[in-house]
Amino acid sequence: MTPRTLLLFILLLFMTGCASNYYNVPRETYEKKVRVLGVAPIMLDADSEIRHPEKAEVLKIVREANRKNEAELVNILKGNGEYFSVRFVDEEADQLFSTVVSRRERRDDAGVVYNKYFYKGDEIKKYIERHNVDAVMLVTVSGIMMNEKVYSNNFTAYLEENYNNLIMTAQILDPDGMVLWEYPNFRQRFITFPTLFALQYPDFEEARANLTDQVKLKFKSIPGVNRAFTQTETSFIKSSKPVSALYNKQFAEMSSFLQYFRNPFDDKKAKQTGNPPPIVKENVSSPMPQAPVAAPPQQTPLAPAAVQGKPVPREFEPVKPLDPGTQLIKEPEIK
């Protein structure tokens, strides 16, 4: 485990406190249901809101980036150790998208704007059975319009506008079409959903150069888009090749909700099994006399009437205090 991964683990452990389940089903159910996970090729929704004037070039760049970086996600899932096996189920991505996806729905949940995909149950079942896996993870890159407030580099100005962005969403489905897990994930305490890539930017420099408050919204150039998608950084997995910085960020975010964090301190607590034996109380005389408890003053009971021929019993005689230094002499017993 790299220091960066360890730091992420510790941070999430303290944020969650105890075990956190980011799946749509109980964790025990998921573990029994999914032992072998299949990861499909990263798909691209070409009909989504990608409004770049050179859309065909953008689609070409994204398809190539998907293909080059999808193995990184498989390696991350293998390294998590949550499954018996993780397999890359290789098929043509565009053909797979047209086969299994039934529709797309633009959603705005808890302030998070994204594209939610719905799938054909029969095709998903065939796909899973064809590759002999328990469930499949489907990842899709799509375009969407988002209302955002983007600031200048020195934070002295901003432009609030509808921006065209590329996002990445994912779901894990079983053969019955049930969504076992999804990203963006709404079972977390603090909901985050970073953008994969912003296709537009506000040109504050041009507005400042022309001494105007009218900031133009521009699309990034194709060479700029290509440089952003091909810029690489060190992978989280030691044995992996360098991965795209854009995809590495997305995979790290997604994988943080694909693990089940257990509180290590809970394992040290003793677990009680069965009923404890009953406690039997016994009357055991104490070897040392206990100090008498002061009782409230009571009225001296009246002495009973004397019986002829017998003296009054001493226990009913009034007690008189003795003078200091008086010596007690035991009297003979009266019969």
For residue 155, name the pLDDT band (cuts at 50, 70, 90).
confident
> Residue 316: what pLDDT?
44
Please indicate, yes or no, if residue 92 is contained in any of the structural domains: yes
Using the predicted structure, report yes or no on whether residue 180 has a pLDDT greater than 60: yes
Using the predicted structure, report yes or no on whether residue 200 has a pLDDT greater than 50: yes
For residue 110, name the pLDDT band (cuts at 50, 70, 90).
confident
Please indicate, yes or no, if residue 82 is contained in any of the structural domains: yes
Average pLDDT of the segment spanning 38-48: 98
Pick the more confident residue, 243 or 309.
243
Please indicate, yes or no, if residue 62 is contained in any of the structural domains: yes
Average pLDDT of the segment spanning 3-24: 58
> Residue 271: what pLDDT?
46
| Total tally of structural domains belonging to the chain | 1
Percent of the chain whose pLDDT exceeds 70 = 70
> Residue 261: what pLDDT?
55
Domain hosting 18: range is 3-145+165-196+245-259
Percent of the chain whose pLDDT exceeds 90 = 57
> In 3D, which of 56, 61, 65, 51 has the Cα closest to residue 200?
51
Please indicate, yes or no, if residue 313 is contained in any of the structural domains: no
